[in-house]
Amino acid sequence: MRLASMTLHRYGNYNAERICFDPTPGAVNLLLAPNSAGKSVLRNAFADLLFGIHNQTPMDFRFGYSGMRVMADIVLPDGTRTVFSRRKARGNAILGPDDLPLDPDFLPGLLRGRDRRLLERLFVLDTEALRRGGSDLLESGGDIASALLSAAGGIRQARALKLTLEQKRDALAPERRIAARPFYQALGRFLDARRRANAEMLRPDAWYRQEQECEALAERRRTMNAEAEAASVEIARFGTDPACAAMADAAWRGRGLASCASGRTQPGDRAAAGAGSSGTGHRDQARSRAPRSGSS
């Protein structure tokens, strides 16, 4: 099996990223990127693709578990190509190009008993693996360790140096926790700060939910603005149309007469009647100020 491409959806720091490789037999593919660009994420994605995505994988730190998927385009031993993927879901089913589950023996038949641990031991070399390997060499105390250390730089007192460092470590931070030691005081402050940071951290699902709410509110605002603009146009047309103005004048007059006849004229009705067309209002005020015939 040779890898032609790998695609990551909402996995780690990748939203939708496709990386192509040269599947020619004997070809060596180099992927160069700066620190924290996601090289370890790609390595972990390849292992998850082959052996399954863990239920509590840490690769949800940006997008959460929803939509997490790893897909690969591979060349089979007989030279044919196929596409398969694995989603973050119960059962970790292997899906084909049509998103239907493949035969459960599809990958085991290609891997022939190889597991994740063997893959990482043979092909994974990172900072943590180097430290672990160096510790294993020193703890073994064999001739191979001494020979390797001597060949590397002539360090013949590595064991004595290790013991000295361990003594200094125990003096600063003994295995038994002592609150008065500066190390444990700093550790307490660090753990407290980390707890506060975790409590204030916005999880991907909460961020996504808030983003959807903001989009819904923005759409509602656009709709209301459009309705307000349409109402403004209608109001402007209403004010310039003589027929509409006459109808409004008649409506306000009829409302005022009805209120006077019922004896229940409300302050709002008076204000509304006075807010009619300006010409009509002036005429009504002139009539009210003119002396009635026969009055003293």
Candidates 23, 22, 113; CA nearest to 76 is 23
- Predicted confidence at residue 125, as pLDDT, reads 74
Candidates 31, 51, 43; CA nearest to 123 is 43
- Predicted confidence at residue 105, as pLDDT, reads 87
- Predicted confidence at residue 206, as pLDDT, reads 84
Candidates 46, 31, 97; CA nearest to 11 is 46
Spell out the domain ranges in the chain. 2-123, 127-187, 242-276
Judged on CB neighbours under 10 Å (0-12, 13-18, 19+), 296 is exposed
Tell me the CA distances in angstroms from 235 to 40, 238, 292, one per residue in order: 63, 5, 38
- What distance in Å separates the CA atoms of residue 224 and residue 230, rounded to the nearest whole number? 10
CB neighbourhood size of 273 (10 A): 18
DSSP 8-state assignment for residue 94: E
* Interval 30-47: pLDDT, tens: 988 888 888 889 999 999
Joined together, the tokens standing for residue 159 give 């064991």
Helix (H) or strand (E) holding 81: strand 81-87
- Predicted confidence at residue 158, as pLDDT, reads 67
The string of DSSP letters for 3-25 reads EEEEEEEEETTEEEEEEE---ST
Fold of 2-123: Rossmann fold (3.40.50)
- Predicted confidence at residue 280, as pLDDT, reads 47
- Predicted confidence at residue 276, as pLDDT, reads 45
Contact yes or no for 4/79 (Cβ under 8 A): no
- What distance in Å separates the CA atoms of residue 158 and residue 135, rounded to the nearest whole number? 12
User: CA 226 from chain center: how many Å?
Assistant: 31
Render each residue's pLDDT in the chain as its tens digit; 296 residues.
Answer: 899 999 999 999 999 999 999 999 989 999 888 888 888 899 999 999 999 998 889 999 899 988 999 999 999 989 999 999 999 887 778 899 888 988 888 888 888 888 888 888 777 777 777 777 777 766 766 566 666 655 555 455 666 777 888 888 888 877 777 777 788 888 889 999 999 988 888 788 888 889 999 999 999 999 999 999 988 887 777 766 677 667 766 766 665 555 555 554 444 444 444 444 444 444 444 444 444 444 43
